[in-house]
A and B are shown apart, each in its own frame.
Chain A
Amino acid sequence: GESVGLHLPTLSVQEGDNSIINCAYSNSASDYFIWYKQESGKGPQFIIDIRSNMDKRQGQRVTVLLNKTVKHLSLQIAATQPGDSAVYFCAENMGGAGDKIIFGKGTRLHILP
């Protein structure tokens, strides 16, 4: 039968502006959270992670915020560039001692010239 594609939310941002991508997670016991970027035809690429005992972590041009009270994660990208166009996934580890990375549905980031 015909497969129905995921309707990915799309965020359109002007080049040079900041982007904020939001994500809700499901498991209060997840011990760390990760953001990935996936460009067309490629596997996901790690951007940044944050442990559950932190509420903010910064990387190069990116910041992740974790709000455990409302189970919310966000990724901020500063000075968005054309190369930032991709699908962004948040993910949580439910694996305890090992890895059991559960991905969210993804957000497509579209950069406007």
Chain B
Amino acid sequence: KAGVTQTPRYLIKTRGQQVTLSCSPISGHRSVSWYQQTPGQGLQFLFEYFSETQRNKGNFPGRFSGRQFSNSRSEMNVSTLELGDSALYLCASRSALDSSYEQYFGPGTRLTVT
């Protein structure tokens, strides 16, 4: 079956703009998590959605938001972009309906803020 897909793969934005990133989980997976990866901070948890509800949130400012649709696809939005938001944004999905905690990651969206 198809893996986790993320669009777009690369994005260049200017400070102050906003951006929306999309994630399509593996078919049948209901949990989607988002992460930010930077050379300075490593992999940091942003939030997790399950059945259209945000279950957990990391320590990011309110400029970072997300949502999940009824088909489990998820989007994250970053408003008023700052230079420090330049990063690789990864999403991961898992079934969450069985005992496995195995998450499958997408290839990421590389966001550059200039």
Contacts and interface: CB of A to CB of B under 8 A. Distances in A.
Chain A contact residues, majority secondary structure? loop
Which of the four size classes fits the interface of chain B?
Answer: 20 to 34
Contacts, number: 71
Interface residues of A, number: 25
B39 A98 contact: no
Nearest to B4: A43
A70 interface: no
Chain B contact residues, majority secondary structure? strand
A99 B107 contact: no
Contacts of A42: 107
A99 B56 contact: yes
Given A6-B39, A43-B108, A95 B55 contact: yes
Interface stretch (B11-19, B69-77, B98-106): B98-106
A10 interface: no
A49 B98 CA distance: 14
Contacts of A49: 100-102
Interface of B: 4, 31, 33, 35, 38-45, 48, 50, 55-56, 58, 90, 92, 94, 96, 100-108
Interface of A: 3-6, 32, 34, 42-46, 49, 89, 93, 95, 97-106
